[in-house]
Amino acid sequence: MSADLKSKTAVVTGGTRGIGRAIALRLARSGVNLVVNYHKNEAAAQALVQEMKSMGSSCIVVQGDVSDPHAAQKVISIAQEHYPNLDILVNNAGITKDNLLLRMSEEEFTSVIATNLVGTFYCTKYASKIMIKARQGRIINISSVVGISGNAGQSNYAASKAGIIGFTKSVAKELAGRNITVNAIAPGFIKTDMTDNLSPVQKENILSRISMGRLGLPEDIASLVDFLVSEEANYITGQVFRVDGGMEI
Ligand code: NDP
C-alpha cells in the first residue's frame, strides 16, 4: 500500500472487469477515491460497487463508451464534481475484434481504433485540462506487447496499441513541465475474459513463448500501476513497461 495515495482521486476506464477491475481495487486499497467507467456489463459494475462498499472504499461507476467524446467528457466531469481533485487517469478500456487482414471489415478495424486509441485521446485530453491547472497528475495508458511486436490476425488491435505508445511519449513530452507523468504498460497475456476465449491450441502456443510458463494475473498489472502513480515514481515519464512473464528477454 502506498501511503502517499490516500484521498487522491483516480478515473479508471473499463474498470469493472479484468485488468481495470484489479487496478481499481488496488488503488482503492491504497486509499484512492475511484471513478470507474464501463460500457455494457451492468452486473459487473454493480458487483464492483458492492465489493468497494464492503472494503469501505469510495467508488462511483459511470456507464459510457469512451469512443464517444461526450461520454468520455462525462466520466471526467463526474470525477471533478464528486471529488476535490483528479490526480490519476488510467486509460484501460479496450476491445479486440480479430481477423486476418483480407477478411477484416472496415468496422472491425475502425471500432477497435476508436475504443482503444481515440478513447484514450479523449479521456487524456479532458483529464489533462484539470491536471494542468493543478500542476500535477499521473496518466497510465494500457498498451500491449502486441503493439510492440505485432500479431497475425490483430492488425487493428496492434495498430491501436502501437498508437497508444506514440501518444504516450508525445503527451509525456507536452506535460512533463506541468509535473504530469504519462507512462504506458504493455501487458503480455493476462488471464481475463479477453484471453478466456482463446482456443486451447492458441493458449498452448502462447504458453510456450512465456519464460515463466504461465499467463499473467490482472494483479500483476495493478501492482505496477500502484507504483507508477506513487511519489516513488515522480521522475518516471514517457516509458513503456512490459509485464509479460519474460515473453521477450
Ligand atoms: P476485459 O474484456 O476483461 O475488460 C474490458 C473492460 O473494458 C470492461 O470493463 C469493459 O466494459 C470495458 N470497455 C470495453 N469497451 C469499452 C468502451 N467502448 N468504453 C468503456 N469501457 C469499455 O479486458 P482486459 O481486462 O483483458 O483488458 C483491459 C485492457 O488491457 C485492454 O485495453 C486490453 O487491450 C489490455 N490488454 C489485455 C491483455 C490481456 O491479455 N488480457 C494483454 C494486453 C493488453 P463492459 O464490461 O461494460 O463491457
Instruction: Concatenate the DSSP letters of all residues of 47-98 into one string.
Output: HHHHHHHHHT--EEEEE--TTSHHHHHHHHHHHHHHSS---EEEE-------
Percent above pLDDT 70 for the chain: 99
- Per residue in 108-118, is it b (16+ CB within 10 Å) or e — as a string? bbeebbbbbbb
Q: What does the mean pLDDT of the chain come to?
A: 97
Tell me what the mean pLDDT of segment 187-203 comes to: 92
Q: How far is the CA of 177 from the centre of ligand 1 (A)?
A: 31
Contact present, 109 and 94 (Cβ < 8 Å): no
Phi and psi dihedrals of 189, rounded to 5? -100, 115
Instruction: Determine if the pTM surpasses 0.95.
Output: yes
Given the CA of residue 216, which atom of ligand 1 is nearest to it? 40
Catalogue all structural domains in the chain, each as residue range(s) with its CATH number: 3-243 (3.40.50.720)
Tell me what the mean pLDDT of segment 191-199 comes to: 91
Is 94 near ligand 1, meaning CB less than 6 Å away? Answer: yes
Is 126 near ligand 1, meaning CB less than 6 Å away? Answer: no
Residue 157 bears catalytic tag = yes
**Residue 1, pLDDT above cutoff 70:** no
Is the Cα dihedral 191, 195, 197, 201 positive or negative? Answer: negative
**Residue 11, pLDDT above cutoff 90:** yes
Is 245 near ligand 1, meaning CB less than 6 Å away? Answer: no
> For residue 198, what pLDDT is reported?
86
**Residue 161, pLDDT above cutoff 70:** yes
Residue scoring higher pLDDT (167 or 205): 167
| Digit-coded pLDDT (tens) for 202-248 | 899 999 999 999 999 999 999 999 999 999 999 999 999 999 999 98
Percent above pLDDT 90 for the chain: 95
For residue 38 the three cell numbers come to: 464501463
Q: How far is the CA of 116 from the centre of ligand 1 (A)?
A: 9
Q: How far is the CA of 196 from the centre of ligand 1 (A)?
A: 12
Name the catalytic one among 38, 83, 126, 157.
157
> For residue 2, what pLDDT is reported?
62
